[in-house]
Structure 1
Amino acid sequence: MMKSSPVLGKDRIVTIDIIRGFALFGIFLVNMPAFHSANFMVQMYSFEHELTGSDYWLDLLFTLFVDMKFFTIFSFLFGLGFYIFMSRAEQKGLKINRLFSRRLVGLLLIGTLHFVLLWFGDILHTYALTGFLLLLFYKRKVKTMVIWGTILLVLTNVLLMGMPLLMPEETLIEMKESQNASYEEKIDEYVDVYETAGYVKWVSYRFTTEIIPIMKGTIPSMLPVLAMFLFGLAAGKAGIFKPNTKHLDFIQKVRTVSMIVSIPLVVTLALFKLEVVDIGIKSNTFVQLFTSLSGLTLCFFYISALTLLLRKAKWQKMLRPLGFVGQMALTNYLSQTIICMAIFVGLRQFGEVSLTTGTVICLLIFASQILFSYFWLKNFQFGPFEWLWRTFTYGKIQSIKKQQSTKTLKHKEAL
């Protein structure tokens, strides 16, 4: 029987780590307003805040180039990572379905604790639940995966946007007024709990206000996640990210086509966002639609463009710091929540920070994560939460200390 063991440093694909770090940075930018302000209530009741000054332009920049772009990259990379994990385990003669199921259960446990005890925006539990569906596709053809992914994305956009676009304008106006009334009624209580409540009361309040409503939407939220998982799985099975890939022409075509398609989508989104084009109550639905569509095309543009750039040693060296963060993505993702909850809830700064200030704080925290990841990985093979996850997956304590090479040991002996 083959010995179960995780993927170590020499087997890692640095390009994937860098792209993952890049995606984690974008996700942090998007998540930051939800850490420091009542963003949950804004989303839940589709409330529209009037932003001014730098906040207005920053919000526009995020809508055009960040929102729904990096979450899709992260989801794509999960599907790609699934293929790498399964194929390597299969080569070792391991029971791949059982091993990956343990991996998903471990992720589900971590994600559920994160979701319930710390923050409503957790994606790990959704990834874990959706990941079980990937087991149905591992042996399928690449074409089948792409077809299913496309169908799921079309279905998602039809479900999200089709109903509002087909509804009479009067009905939408009534719904909007009702949502605004509910928001105004509950926002003061929500902010007050975040600012003043003790931890137990805070968690209890969040359970009924945030967690249960989010859980009701679990299945719809899984559809776009599974779609991007399947695209990542297809890319892995096709060998697109192998170090000596034969698909450079394809990657270049993806970069070109995704850029060309993205331009009119982003321009149209900007016109709606800036209210140059205004069709009344349904304008916001079109903002959501074009944010979603551009999120998909820019996701593929960012991935393909970075993949090609990182074939050059100069760019790989320049962007390597993102790779350290990406290699410890789980630890950094969770620590972003821990740090932000400590600052904004623990220090009673919730609701006191503007979008611009929050973004500056985000940049400072992420820079510190780059440094932390760099120094941590000089001594350890995995991040602390990666170690915990791997230990659960393989059913035994994993060695976390970085093993010294024979060359290093001989040098020390000579000294």
Structure 2
Amino acid sequence: MATTAPPPLDTRFVSLDLIRGIAVMGILLMNIVAFAMPHGAYGNPCAFGGTGPADLAVWATNFVIADGKMRGLFSVLFGASMLLVMERAQAKGDNPLLTHLSRMTWLLLFGAIHAYAIWFGDILMLYAVVGMVACIFRGMAAHRLLALGLSLIFAQAMLFGLMMLGIMTLRSQALAPDASADIVNAWADLLAQMGPMPPDEAARDLATYRGGYAGILGVRLGEEFWMPLKANGFSIIETLGLMLCGMAGLKSGFLTGEWERADYRRQLRIGYSIGLPAMVILAGLLLASGFGPVAQIGLGWALKTLFNPFVILGHASLIILWLKASPESRLGARIAAAGRMAFSNYLGTSLVCTTLFYGYGFGLYGEMSRAPLYLVVLAVWILMLLWSKPWLDRFRYGPLEWLWRSLARRELQKIRR
């Protein structure tokens, strides 16, 4: 991966916007389950939400093409955009590190508000903290960034593999004839956490999220206070690796569309020929296993983390090839606009979905099985595409992008065109 020359300050890379737009839309393919159902349903379709053929089919489809891949694309683009902002700050004579840290500090605050006041599944806090670390590596050459990023992703997969071995040991000890009560109870607790929800726990969860805002906020600030931090903690190493890969992708010109079409086609073939068959096999093995804890961690976490980068590479290559083939696409322009407003669309999706599913809105939490949820996803996608481009035709930034930029620069930015 050769490093390209820095782009002009006023360059707008449509490829970055288009990939980011598809990523922010695609994240909802997985997040919709966490909005609409108890937490366990996200990783285990048998935990809640129906196990009919249609429900399992949409789970398997998302596992193969979206689960971890859309968040991965988003992380890659975050790393690329972060580096681009720092390079442009330096070119203008500003302190790139202070510019970056100011942006990450405000993003951390936005993420905390999102996690505790709106929805527990926030990734902004994770991005802010990891982004502060990722900037340390900004001076590395593209090939070194890529090598380090992939090594970190591999390390994350190995850590999940160690977790799987620990769970296998616990299972073996719990099933032994002379197992202690503590070991048996620990195994039972793990089965309850990762398997079908016990009726009393499911009833309590449904009552909470079908209730009013004050009750939900009380749970978030009480018994579930650490949930967003724990969930993010599991993917810190992988997220850093993906951000570094994004920085490499920017420096090499891959993400900015500077490679030849034949190069993107080659990367597409490599990514999909390795990643997609592996994901199909993993999905089949998970279904056959019944989603036991060992299978979930080993197949759904460790091995999926190992093969996700191949699918991410295929997705990114396919998107850029589409842009090269149809640079004037109206649909592409609308998706790119959604990508330019990814911050507003990400938080806006949380506001729309929590209002739709939680008790202080329409109260549909736990009422829909998995497959029909994707009609909601389609509706939210249409909303994103309908409002993003008209907004940007009139304004320079999305509303939250403008607020973030103004706070980070400590002065109101011009928003009207």
- TM-score normalised according to structure 1 size: 0.87
The one of 312, 322, 331 equivalent to 1:299 is 312
Which whole-Å CA distance do the structure 2 matches of 1:221 and 1:321 have between them? Answer: 31
Which whole-Å CA distance do the structure 1 matches of 2:121 and 2:399 have between them? Answer: 22
SS at match of 2:136: coil
Gaps of 5+ in 1: 1-6, 403-415
Give the direction of change, closer, same or farther, for the CA distance of 1:201–1:281 in structure 2 (3 Å limit). closer
Displacement of 1:159: 1.0
Residue aligning to 1:228: 242
Task: Read off the aligned partner of 1:21 and give its amino acid letter.
Answer: G
Gaps of 5+ in 2: 1-6, 176-183
* Aligned residues of 1:47 and 1:180 also touching (Cα < 8 A): no
* Aligned residues of 1:252 and 1:304 also touching (Cα < 8 A): yes
Displacement of 1:152: 1.2
Matched, 1:373 2:388: yes
Displacement of 1:398: 0.6
* Aligned residues of 1:255 and 1:301 also touching (Cα < 8 A): yes
Task: Read off the aligned partner of 2:71 and give its amino acid letter.
Answer: F
Give the direction of change, closer, same or farther, for the CA distance of 1:9–1:119 in structure 2 (3 Å limit). farther
Which whole-Å CA distance do the structure 2 matches of 1:256 and 1:154 have between them? Answer: 21
Residue aligning to 2:282: 269
Residue aligning to 1:202: 216
Q: How does 1:158-169 map to 2 (within 5 A)?
A: 158-165=158-165, 167-168=168-169, 169=171
Displacement of 1:298: 0.7
Aligned residues: 392
Which whole-Å CA distance do the structure 2 matches of 1:219 and 1:279 have between them? Answer: 23
Which whole-Å CA distance do the structure 1 matches of 2:8 and 2:54 have between them? Answer: 44
Displacement of 1:78: 0.4
Displacement of 1:59: 1.2
Please tell me the root mean square deviation across aligned C-alpha atoms, in Å: 2.7
Residues 85-143 of structure 1: CA deviation (Å, up to 9, x unaligned) = 11111111111100111111111111110011011111011100110002210112223
Residue aligning to 1:86: 86
SS at match of 1:356: coil
Which whole-Å CA distance do the structure 2 matches of 1:44 and 1:206 have between them? Answer: 21
Task: Read off the aligned partner of 2:299 and give its amino acid letter.
Answer: V
Displacement of 1:308: 2.0
* Aligned residues of 1:45 and 1:180 also touching (Cα < 8 A): no
Give the direction of change, closer, same or farther, for the CA distance of 1:213–1:171 in structure 2 (3 Å limit). farther
* Aligned residues of 2:83 and 2:135 also touching (Cα < 8 A): no
Displacement of 1:365: 1.6
SS at match of 1:11: coil
Which whole-Å CA distance do the structure 2 matches of 1:299 and 1:257 have between them? Answer: 11
Task: Read off the aligned partner of 1:374 and give its amino acid letter.
Answer: K
Residue aligning to 1:31: 31
Residue aligning to 1:48: 47
Which whole-Å CA distance do the structure 2 matches of 1:186 and 1:199 have between them? Answer: 20
Q: How does 1:177-216 map to 2 (within 5 A)?
A: 177-181=188-192, 183-184=197-198, 185-196=200-211, 198-216=212-230
Residue aligning to 2:324: 311
Displacement of 1:10: 6.0
Task: Read off the aligned partner of 2:410 and give its amino acid letter.
Answer: G
Residues 38-61 of structure 1: CA deviation (Å, up to 9, x unaligned) = 1x2446999734511321211111
Q: How does 1:16-415 map to 2 (within 5 A)?
A: 16-38=16-38, 40-42=39-41, 48-49=47-48, 51-165=51-165, 167-168=168-169, 169-171=171-173, 174=184, 175-181=186-192, 183-184=197-198, 185-196=200-211, 198-216=212-230, 218-242=232-256, 245-246=258-259, 250-275=263-288, 282-288=294-300, 289-313=302-326, 316-345=329-358, 346-402=361-417
- TM-score normalised according to structure 2 size: 0.86
Displacement of 1:247: 5.9
Which whole-Å CA distance do the structure 1 matches of 2:292 and 2:207 have between them? Answer: 33
